[in-house]
């Protein structure tokens, strides 16, 4: 599967690592095209099962049916508006936790909404917004496992086929997809993601922990 990842930062690296490990091809776009190309080269060097990657600049044409917004919430809003109708029919994966970047002590979205829902309102009606990867830290995605256990990837969305595509990507990359329900469940997932971040000082895990359901 061809996937466009917008953002060549830590989350772009983490998600890109899992995608190419699963035999998918990633197109990495960033405001810094050189950083995107360097990341793509590194991912391609470690890719397996026919996977690969290429780099480019933010604003370049999208590749494939899946677009991952591997950026903070603020830039994600701008990206959705920038691409506009190019997102029509695409599966758009929102990985953000809409944290207040001034205080880091709460979320900036309304209590009756989520980053994913707000992005869906800005996107064309045919775009299929999916919430995923917001409870997984970048470093743990690179490794794919914590304490010998595959990461759980909670997936929320209103389009079943779109969720299945994201689940397929996660599973191929060695992760465990979990259907979390409709897109409105992104509200709970984002609060869970924020709590996981807020606990890092007391846990002392250095963003190396994972949220996992064990039964």
How remote is the C-alpha of 2 from its chain's centroid? Answer: 15
* 208: in domain: no
* 27: in domain: yes
* 9: in domain: yes
Q: Could you report the per-residue pLDDT of 30-48, keeping only the tens digit for each?
A: 999 999 999 999 999 988 7
Give 10-residue mean pLDDT values along the chain (215 residues): 97 97 96 98 88 96 97 98 98 98 94 97 98 98 97 98 98 98 98 97 96 95
Distance, CA of 14 to CA of 140 (rounded, Å): 8
**H helices then E strands: how many in the chain?**
8, 10
Helix axes 115-122, 186-198, angle to 10 degrees: 130
Contact yes or no for 134/169 (Cβ under 8 A): no
Task: Supply the range of the domain harboring residue 49.
Answer: 2-203
| Whole-prediction pTM | 0.97
**Per-residue confidence (pLDDT) for residue 48, from 0 to 100:** 73
CA distances from 136 to 89, 163, 173 (A): 26, 17, 14
Q: Could you report the per-residue pLDDT of 96-132, keeping only the tens digit for each?
A: 999 999 999 999 999 999 999 999 999 999 999 999 9
Specify the number of domains making up the chain: 1
Distance, CA of 136 to CA of 212 (rounded, Å): 10
CATH number assigned to the domain comprising residue 186: 3.40.50.720
Strand partners, 67: 4, 92
């Amino acid at each position: 599967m061809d996937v466009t990842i917008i953002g060549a930062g830590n989350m772009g690296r983490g998600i890109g690592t899992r995608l190419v490990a699963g035999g998918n091809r990633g197109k990495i776009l960033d405001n810094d095209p050189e950083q995107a190309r360097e990341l793509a080269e590194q991912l391609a060097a470690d890719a397996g099962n026919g996977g690969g990657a290429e780099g480019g600049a933010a604003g370049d044409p999208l590749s494939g049916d899946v677009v991952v917004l591997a950026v903070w919430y603020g830039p994600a809003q701008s990206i959705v508006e920038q691409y506009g109708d190019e997102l029509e029919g695409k599966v758009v994966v929102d990985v953000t936790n809409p944290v207040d970047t001034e205080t880091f002590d709460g979320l900036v979205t309304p209590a009756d909404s989520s980053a994913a829902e707000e992005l869906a309102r800005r996107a064309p009606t045919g775009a299929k917004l999916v919430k995923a990867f917001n409870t997984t830290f970048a470093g743990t995605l690179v490794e794919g496992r914590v304490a010998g256990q595959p990461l759980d990837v909670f997936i929320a969305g209103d389009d079943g086929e779109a969720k299945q595509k994201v689940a397929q990507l996660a599973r191929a990359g060695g992760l465990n997809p979990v259907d979390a329900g409709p897109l409105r469940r992104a509200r709970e997932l984002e609060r869970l993601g924020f709590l996981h971040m807020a606990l890092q000082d007391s846990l002392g895990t250095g963003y190396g922990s994972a949220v996992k359901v064990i039964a």
